[in-house]
C-alpha cells in the first residue's frame, strides 16, 4: 500500500512538473529570469547563460551561483541548481548542476557549456547535458546524454536576438522520448535602465509558449522585474539587489490553478 501511495504521489508530482513547464527536462530559470516571465534568451543574467549558451561569449566575469525554486510551495517539487562560469577573453566555460524532486522520484542534470564571441555582433555556444532520472519501485531509471546550442545576434546596438535549440536529434538516433525544443526571441534596451524582450518556445508535442518580460533598474543596483508567460497564463514579478560582489534575486510566478512558485538566487561575482 505504501509503495502504491509513493508511486501515485510520484506520478502526480511528475504531472505537476510537466504541467508547469513546456519541456520538463529543461532546468528552471534563475530567480532573476523567472521574475521576467522566464524570458532569458538574450538577457545578461548569470542563469540566462545556461539557457542560451551563446550568452557566455559576452560574459567576461568569473562567477558562481546557487538557485532554489520552490514550486507551488511543495518541497517535493523543489529544484536546486548550482553553476559556475569561468571567463577567458572571448570564450567562457560554464558548469551547471540541477536537482529536482525527492527520494522516490528525482531528476538530476549536469551540463558543461562553452560560449564564444565570433565577432562583436555574433556569439555562439553549446552545452553537453547529462540527465539522470530515478524512480522508486519497478520503474526503469533513465540516463540520457544530449546537447543544446545557442546563437546570439546583435543586429543593432540596442537589439539582441537569441536562438536556442535543445536536443535536436532525429528520432532514429534517440534512445528515449526526450523532447526537442526550439526557442527564439529578442530583447531591446529601451533606455539605460529599462530592458524588455519577448521569446517564443516550442517543444515537440507541446503547444507554443510565448514569454515576455522587463527589467527596470529603479535605483542604483536595485532592480524590479515583471513578466508574463502564456504557459498556464502565468504572471511573474521579482526583484534583485547587488551588494558589492553578491547579487540576491527573488521572484514569484503565479499559476492559473496551482498557486505561486517562488525562487531565490545568490550569485557571487569573483572577479
Look at the block and give the residue holding cell 551540463.
Answer: 111
Backbone region of residue 139 per phi and psi (left: phi > 0; alpha: psi in -120 to 50; beta: other values) = beta
Q: Which residue number, 103 or 170, has a Cβ lying nearer to another protein? A: 170
Question: In terms of DSSP H, where are the helices of 57-173?
Answer: none
Other CB atoms within 10 Å distance of the CB of residue 37: 30
Among 180, 251, 263, 265, binds another protein (CB under 8 A): 180
Task: Give least dist CB 68 to another protein, A.
Answer: 31
Cβ closer to another protein: 163 or 267? 163
- Reported as half-sphere exposure (CB side, CA atoms, 13 A), residue 221 has a value of 8
Measured from the CB of residue 207, what is the shortest distance to another protein in angstroms?
Answer: 7
CB of residue 66 to another protein, shortest distance in Å: 31
154 is a contact residue toward another protein (CB under 8 A): yes
Q: Which of 171, 192, 243, 271 binds another protein (CB under 8 A)?
A: 171
> Maximum Cα–Cα distance for the chain, whole Å?
62
Of 82, 30, 93, whose CA–CA distance to 60 is shortest? 93
Q: In this structure, are residues 185 and 39 in contact, taking their beta carbons and an 8 Å threshold?
A: yes
Residue 75 in contact with another protein, rule: CB under 8 A: no
Q: Using the rule CB under 8 A, which residue among 156, 192, 219, 244 binds another protein? A: 156
Classify residue 2 as left (phi > 0), alpha (psi -120 to 50) or beta: alpha
If binding is defined by CB under 8 A, does position 66 make contact with another protein? no
Bridge partner residues of 188 (DSSP): 159, 196
Site for another protein in 195-254 (CB under 8 A): 200-208
Cβ proximity of 229 and 38 under 8 Å: yes
8 Å CB contact between 39 and 199? yes
Of the two residues 13 and 124, which places its CB atom closer to another protein in the complex?
124
**CA dihedral angle for residue 86, residue 90, residue 91, residue 94, rounded to 10 degrees:** 40
Pick the binder of another protein from 74, 93, 153, 258 (CB under 8 A).
Answer: 153
For residues 103 to 142, the per-residue mask of contacts with another protein, x marking binding by CB under 8 A and - elsewhere, is ---------------xx-xx-x-x----------------
Pick between residue 32 and residue 161 the one whose CB is nearest to another protein.
161
CB closer to another protein, 109 vs 151: 151
The residues of the shown chain that bind another protein, judged by CB under 8 A, are 118-119, 121-122, 124, 126, 149, 151, 153-156, 159, 161, 163, 165, 168-174, 177, 180-182, 184, 186, 200-208
Amino acid at each position: 500500500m505504501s509503495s502504491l501511495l509513493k508511486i501515485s504521489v510520484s506520478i502526480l508530482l511528475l504531472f505537476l512538473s510537466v504541467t508547469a513547464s513546456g519541456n520538463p527536462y529543461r532546468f528552471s530559470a534563475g530567480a532573476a529570469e523567472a521574475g521576467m516571465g522566464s524570458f532569458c534568451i538574450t538577457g545578461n543574467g548569470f542563469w540566462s547563460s545556461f539557457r542560451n549558451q551563446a550568452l557566455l561569449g559576452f560574459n567576461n566575469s568569473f562567477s558562481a551561483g546557487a538557485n532554489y525554486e520552490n514550486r507551488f510551495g511543495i518541497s517535493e517539487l523543489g529544484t536546486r541548481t548550482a553553476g559556475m562560469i569561468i571567463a577567458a577573453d572571448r570564450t567562457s566555460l560554464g558548469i551547471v548542476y540541477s536537482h529536482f524532486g525527492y527520494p522516490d522520484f528525482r531528476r538530476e542534470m549536469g551540463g558543461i557549456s562553452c560560449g564564444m564571441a565570433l565577432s562583436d555582433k555574433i556569439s555562439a555556444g553549446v552545452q553537453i547535458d547529462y540527465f539522470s532520472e530515478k524512480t522508486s519501485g519497478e520503474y526503469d531509471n533513465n540516463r540520457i546524454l544530449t546537447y543544446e546550442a545557442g546563437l546570439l545576434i546583435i543586429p543593432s546596438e540596442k537589439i539582441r536576438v537569441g536562438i536556442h535549440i535543445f536536443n535536436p536529434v532525429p528520432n532514429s538516433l534517440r534512445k528515449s522520448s526526450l523532447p526537442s525544443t526550439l526557442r527564439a526571441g529578442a530583447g531591446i534596451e529601451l533606455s539605460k535602465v529599462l530592458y524588455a524582450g519577448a521569446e517564443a518556445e516550442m517543444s515537440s508535442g507541446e503547444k507554443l509558449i510565448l514569454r515576455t518580460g522587463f527589467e527596470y533598474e529603479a535605483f542604483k543596483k536595485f532592480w524590479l522585474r515583471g513578466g508574463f508567460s502564456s504557459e498556464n497564463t502565468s504572471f511573474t514579478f521579482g526583484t534583485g539587489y547587488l551588494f558589492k560582489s553578491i547579487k540576491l534575486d527573488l521572484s514569484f510566478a503565479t499559476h492559473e490553478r496551482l498557486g505561486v512558485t517562488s525562487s531565490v538566487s545568490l550569485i557571487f561575482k569573483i572577479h
